[in-house]
Structure 1
């Protein structure tokens, strides 16, 4: 029913026009009601004046007209109440229809997105990514593999040769003599007393090296 009322733009425009018409009618009824209230109050004043001059019949006629005005005021009040009720129903129906349309639009958009990116497409994309990654690994491994003469070298032989070089270097360092040699005799001109040589301090490293050489000599 709501779709039949507000499902299309033309029908929504008709609903807005109906609300505008109800508002205009409500304003017109309120104006008539105010006029009738004023007329009823005027009849009461006339009745009071006729009462002062002892014209009872005329005063009663004024009160009758006042009653008629009051009945019309009550009737207009009922009309306004019905219009208010109709406006509330139309506004509520319009809000409900707009909410349903918004939800329907969101559901359609979500359905379209799911259709554009279904699970098969996602799986296919992930397979392509994994394939490209594996290809890149193979390319990198191929580029890092030795070619030509370097491919024929035995890694174990190279490791053994390197160990031999390190052992020879260490042995050479251990067998190297101390850098400080004993001082030879110094000729001094006659008439002068040769100065006593100042003993040089040996470092702890030199002491250790001398001790190691002594052990090896034994």
Structure 2
């Protein structure tokens, strides 16, 4: 049995009672990331040192230069492996964080569902319908009361519109007369008698004959 198989076998037997929580697993993964990041920095420094050593010896000591380049290659391979490992750990950590978030969301939604259920336990749909009907009726009554209050009060009396118009005309005539009086009054009737109407033709002729007779007697 390989060491890896033994490791997972031991881990599985030890975690039968209680597995790690998502928070614990995320914490462990973060620690591993930090350790690998430090390893990355170390390897990058070693690669730079070996490169400097190879340049330093160059053609003077080819054997030492080649050994430095070989070490540089090994460090680069290790660095590449660590880069891949960190990427895998980051992916696993993000998956755990998302799963933990989803778990918390579902848990809170479950609490909310229980709270809603508890709030609805004491509610009777028939009572709710009856209550809503009562509310509607009371709103209608309130509207009728508002309409009645805002309606002009006539005290139950009805008037003939024609009589009112006639009275209005009288008032207008009185106002017109008052205006005429204030402007000097109506024109006065002349005191002198008007000329009498001319007598008929027949009467005029008789008078003319009498005048002629009187004139003749005076002349004689």
- TM-score normalised over the length of structure 1: 0.49
Q: Indicate the structure (1 or 2) with the bigger Cα radius of gyration.
A: 2
- TM-score normalised over the length of structure 2: 0.49
